[in-house]
Chain A
């Protein structure tokens, strides 16, 4: 050991640091865009409890286990929990936020095309966690 030169390792570490910096910068930029909420969002209140989801639209309509939205509109979810932690997830639209009792977390999305997607709970919440599922119906715009 001792005298041998270690420049290959320094080059390698430099490349790794450069790669990580690039990953970090890209992630920062993407997240900044993702978290920018449009101004004309409709608010949907989402409540998780063992073991189903309840939704309340701005006009007061309530839905259990099913959520109907219109394509082309932006929606902001205000996510709460009644008993234990849950995690509100629409995987197809990368919507994910924990539902934590005592807190209101928000996440927004804008479905682009009509379709049917799964809603699920992604945080362990007990016995029926595996079946705490719902369905998202994205419908044709009404106007």
Chain B
């Protein structure tokens, strides 16, 4: 299985190609570029918070702009395009079709990302990724805020186009001999997340337009001075972005479903429960959005409903964890770099989920809401689970894409440093939250516990920074000068590669 043409080609041939692997490569390079840009901003934030007082960032406004662009970049310009990269490479192959269903649409969806990335970065807005009104209407300086709104608007269209393409490719273009119950779990994850996008995104698209007209002063949907209600925005935003959490995490879990059975050299424990958990997660994901809003003055009944909706998502996530562990159980596990990332990702996924249960319980949420606990909690998802699954998968597909092998030792060092760093940063941030440190603050009072915890977190962030430098060096060097990979079995697993529907493999 080789995913890229090995023949060197001029770059414009790749850029203007509509072939799924070429578009996949464009998505891949773009998303990794934004990973490093967004990561650099994270290091700036952590360096600033190392001690109370201004350290390396001159003023609060710059700091607010930095964390806004950090969040926006890593969610919309790293995680989502990275998943699209993997989907572009693998989904057509998994459903045995020559390309994506609509190749030109596919290229258009990709080419919407660079301009929106440019809008977000050139604007450098300051109203957080949540763009909460009335601040975003009456206080946030333009044109940064307007550029952010347009950037997100374009990204939303790009996501919807990509989602339509995945749904049609999987449901309509799969090989006639293949039933939907034989489609590998990675493709199932793209089907689930694409369907969530199609249902969820239009709500935020509408909210963004309303936000823009409110900013222009021609409407007052969310502006209390004109009779509007900021809480309406919160509902519209979270109705899109709580399901969006599952859009981000489901493809990463799908990637783990590819890695874990291969490197455990065992078929997946239960394909059916994997599919069931994906579908269940994409449905119950819509019943929990207002758990982000307990403190906005919701009634006891509303809070109870959304707490139940949130807790209902836990069994589905737990089924994935069970499936992974049961697959590894008694397997002949080979801890190559991709497997280490996947297993580390599962451990952090479990920790993140456990912290999430605390958030969802109403009285406890009033301790953790809008503190660093929440920052630690969702970073365990986006970094610990999604980025770990994604980076593991990048190592896994590296030999197929480049025809060369990455440096295994550097890959393992990258994992160990990143894992240690992630635990140092984000577990510590949970503790900081319990001490009461609010999120999104440029400076903090010199409370000894806060200083100690912030320093541990900042050191952890620098450890992640070092690991990512090793990663970058490994990728650049190995893609040009690495050992040629045996593309039939680059990881030396022996035997035939498992696909879930090929579990009848006689050699085990």
Interface residues of A (CB under 8 A from B): 1, 6, 8-9, 12-13, 16-17, 20-21, 23-24, 26-28, 30-32, 34-35, 50, 83-85, 87, 89, 91-92, 94, 96-98, 100-103, 105-106, 118, 120-131, 133
Name B370's contact: one of A13, A20, A123, A126 (CB within 8 Å).
A123
Q: A16-B314, A24-B361, A130-B443 are in contact. Are A83 and B138 (CB under 8 A)?
A: yes
**CB-based closest 7 A-B pairs:** A91-B436, A102-B224, A105-B297, A27-B361, A130-B441, A101-B224, A84-B135
Contact A122 B311 (CB under 8 A): no
CB distance from A82 to the nearest CB of B (A): 10
Q: A24-B311, A26-B361, A97-B295 are in contact. Are A120 and B135 (CB under 8 A)?
A: no
A-side contacts of B303, CB under 8 Å: 31
Name B134's contact: one of A24, A101, A121, A124 (CB within 8 Å).
A101
CB distance from B309 to the nearest CB of A (A): 10
Name B271's contact: one of A1, A13, A89, A92 (CB within 8 Å).
A1
Name B445's contact: one of A17, A106, A122, A133 (CB within 8 Å).
A133
Contact A97 B297 (CB under 8 A): yes
A-side contacts of B60, CB under 8 Å: 127-130
Other A-B pairs beyond A13-B319, A84-B132, A106-B297, 13, CB < 8 Å: A1-B267, A1-B271, A13-B318, A24-B307, A27-B307, A28-B304, A83-B138, A84-B135, A85-B133, A94-B367, A96-B366, A96-B369, A102-B229
Residue-by-residue, is B44-72 near A (CB-CB < 8 Å gives 1, otherwise 0)? 00000000000000001100100000000
Name B270's contact: one of A6, A35, A98, A129 (CB within 8 Å).
A6
Contact B300 A32 (CB under 8 A): yes
Q: How far, in angstroms, from A96 to B438 measured CA to CA in the complex?
A: 12
Contact A101 B363 (CB under 8 A): no
Contact B61 A100 (CB under 8 A): no
Interface residues of B (CB under 8 A from A): 60-61, 64, 126-128, 130, 132-135, 138-140, 224-225, 229-231, 267-271, 273, 295-297, 300, 303-304, 307-308, 311-312, 314-315, 318-319, 322-323, 326, 357, 360-364, 366-367, 369-371, 435-436, 438-445, 500, 503
Contact A23 B273 (CB under 8 A): no
CB distance from B287 to the nearest CB of A (A): 13
Closest to B308 in A: A24
B-side contacts of A23, CB under 8 Å: 311, 357, 360-361
Closest to A131 in B: B443
Name A9's contact: one of B224, B319, B362, B435 (CB within 8 Å).
B319
B-side contacts of A131, CB under 8 Å: 443
CB distance from B310 to the nearest CB of A (A): 9
CB distance from A56 to the nearest CB of B (A): 19
Contact B273 A27 (CB under 8 A): no
CB distance from B158 to the nearest CB of A (A): 27
Q: A12-B322, A123-B370 are in contact. Are A20 and B436 (CB under 8 A)?
A: no
Contact B134 A85 (CB under 8 A): yes
Q: A6-B273, A124-B135 are in contact. Are A1 and B295 (CB under 8 A)?
A: no
Contact B438 A121 (CB under 8 A): yes
Contact B363 A34 (CB under 8 A): yes
Contact B444 A130 (CB under 8 A): yes
CB distance from B341 to the nearest CB of A (A): 25
B-side contacts of A101, CB under 8 Å: 134, 224-225, 230
B-side contacts of A130, CB under 8 Å: 60, 440-444
Q: A1-B267, A17-B315, A23-B361 are in contact. Are A35 and B229 (CB under 8 A)?
A: no
Name A20's contact: one of B133, B357, B443, B503 (CB within 8 Å).
B357
CB distance from A12 to the nearest CB of B (A): 5
